[in-house]
Amino acid sequence: MILRDPFNRPVSNLRVSLTQKCNLSCIYCHKEGERSPKDQLSGEEIAEILRVAAKFEIRSVKFTGGEPLLRPDLLDIIRSVPDGMESSITTNGTLLAALASPLKDAGLRRVNVSLDSLNPETYKKISGIDRLSDVLDGITAAVDAGLTPVKLNMVILKGVNDTEIDDFLAYVRGNRNLVLQLIELMHFNDCNYHGDLQGLEDALASRSKQIITRRMHHRKKYCLDGAEVEVVRPLHNTEFCAFCNRLRVTSDGKLKPCLLRTDNHIDIRAKKGPELEELFRRAVALREPFYQ
């Protein structure tokens, strides 16, 4: 039975944070909305959460962090994904080159790679570490392994990387295995580099030969001379909330109905079977659009 919240929004996607550990120190990181996490979920606990999610016809799971590739049991976690549930992962890409093929063999469908600059100095300014070449190698390995389409997540930072959009378009142009996602900076810390994504989206629309409206979040995909671009604007966006289909799991074992709220979490640590199923129902009942 598909779970629907009080606003009749079906929950078909699960987003599971595997760890808050990370090998980068990005200036904008929102840590999936987590605050002061405790011990992370075990692989066995994650497998039980996925089993219950599949019972409620949740058809896709995205693993996040922190940096999920730091989990030593990551391949086992991927193998525990139930049949019929598509799995993907969001990674900073620094460790991806060596793991792309094993992840594919374990059953992972595709990856999103966080990449905010193609300039080594700017990349280091944003991430705190000079690992750009490792990320680019990871993207190549992911494409070669068939973890496609590889979506490149570029958080737009005014005055830092917003002049690089054409460079990113050139990077993905002509490669159907790469999709560029331009992401609005969220208000989770003191990173004050917010830009005008509406103006950016209008400019993309004027240059596009084709515009496709995606079912999820009703966001648009712009096709510009062989480059595919999506714009992700969660702030003050009623459409983004109205079409949200996600339920999140924090790394320390809480169901999180909304990324932007921390006051309605449901603790599911060590829960299983019918008790865990009831907690899923309770969390979905608490879901409501942040922007209405």
Mean pLDDT score, 224-251: 91
What is the structure's pLDDT at 37? 58
Residue 240, in any domain of the structure: yes
Residues in the chain: 292
Minimum mean pLDDT range among 66-80, 232-246, 278-292 = 232-246
Mean pLDDT score, 237-261: 93
- Domain containing 116: what range? 13-285
Q: Whole-model pTM above 0.85?
A: yes
Residue 38, in any domain of the structure: yes
The domain that contains 246 carries what CATH number?
Answer: 3.20.20.70
pLDDT over 70 (residue 217): no
How many structural domains are present in the chain? 1
Express as a percent the part of the chain with pLDDT over 90. Answer: 81
Residue 215, in any domain of the structure: yes
Residue 274 makes CB contacts below 8 A (sequence gap 6+) with none
Residue 236, in any domain of the structure: yes
Is the previous residue joined to 66 through a cis bond, with omega within 30 degrees of 0?
Answer: yes
What is the structure's pLDDT at 113? 98
Residue 52 makes CB contacts below 8 A (sequence gap 6+) with 276, 277, 280
Residue 183, in any domain of the structure: yes
Partnered with residue 152 across adjacent β-strands are 113, 180
- For the stretch 30-52, pLDDT in tens is 766 665 556 899 999 999 999 99
Mean pLDDT score, 66-94: 98
Under the banding of pLDDT at 50, 70 and 90, the label for residue 127 is: very high
Mean pLDDT score, 201-211: 91
Residue 234, in any domain of the structure: yes
What is the overall mean pLDDT for the chain?
Answer: 94
Measure the CA–CA gap between 123 and 121, rounded to whole angstroms: 5
Residue 8, in any domain of the structure: no
Residue 278, in any domain of the structure: yes
- Give me the helices (H) in 110-182, please: 120-127, 132-145, 165-172
